[in-house]
Amino acid sequence: MKRLTLTVVLCLTSVFAMAEDHRSEENRLRDQYRNPQATLEFFEVKPSHSVVEIWPGGGWYSEILAPHLKKNGQLYAAHFPSDSKVAFFRKSRKAFEEKIKHSSDIYSAVTMTNFEPPAILNIAPANSVDRVLTFRNVHNWMRNDSEQVAFDAFFKALKPGGILGVIEHRAPDNFNLQQMVDSGYVGSWYVIKLAQKAGFILLGQTEVNANKRDHKTHKNGVWTLPPTLRIKGTENIQHAKDIGESDRMTLKFLKPQAI
């Protein structure tokens, strides 16, 4: 009688810092909308990677990325310049620096860089990083026509074979560019166009951050919804809370290997 040999293949999943004490309860409550575990797995972020987080703001994603990378990887926080002419940018940068200063062990793998397109684009050395990640930023760059310059900078920083991960509020396909700027919702087709023009190849997309309850016709655009809740006129704040955070595209692009 032949012996049957059973081979068990274990699939190891990266565990990100979802429940660590350094994350506030307020930030953890947003996991239901931002789905960080599934999102970062889709972007194939590994502990040994060098990663650029574009405009980390208050550090919501940095709280998850920094512990994941601190032992064997590196996190570039491509933040607003500390000497920006925009007061909000300076204030946000200072708050982020204070945050990492007070938790230096958690953020030991963080390197601060500056990003304010179209002029300031040195997010990391050229051809040096494994991942560039941007979360809900494209609509901001569209306000001063710097979105293509931004994607070009991402391409420059990535190694050949590196991945760009993009999350953005998703507009209906019939929105024109001005509607995107006004509402904060951007067409998936437009983000793909920007990335491809920079030299990227679309690897895939997932609906992990989709929200079918978001009808996208809010009087104050995407800022009507949580967490901003900028309610205007007859709009109901409870209705906005019931919708939750915006419907979002989640796109993954590849920088091709050199030929």
The pLDDT score that the predictor gives to residue 38 is 97
Q: What is the arrangement of strands in the sheet containing 158-169, beginning at the earlier edge strand?
A: 110-114, 74-79, 50-54, 129-135, 158-169, 248-254, 201-206
Q: Which residue has the tokens 């978001």?
A: 214
Angle at 166 between CA 163 and CA 169, to 5 degrees: 170
Tens of pLDDT, residue by residue over 85-130, are 999 999 999 999 999 999 889 999 999 999 999 999 999 999 999 9
Domain annotation for the chain: domains and CATH numbers: 33-214+247-254 (3.40.50.150)
Strand partners, 251: 166, 205
The pLDDT score that the predictor gives to residue 19 is 63
- Is residue 9 pLDDT above 50, yes or no? no
Q: Are strands 158-169 and 201-206 parallel, antiparallel or unpaired?
A: unpaired
What is the model's pTM? 0.92
Tens of pLDDT, residue by residue over 187-236, are 999 999 999 999 999 999 999 999 999 999 999 999 999 999 998 777 79
The string of DSSP codes covering 161-213 is EEEEEEEEEBPPTT--HHHHHHHS-B-HHHHHHHHHHHT-EEEEEE-TT--TT
Angle, in degrees to the nearest 10, between helices 147-157 and 188-198:
50
- Is residue 1 pLDDT above 80, yes or no? no
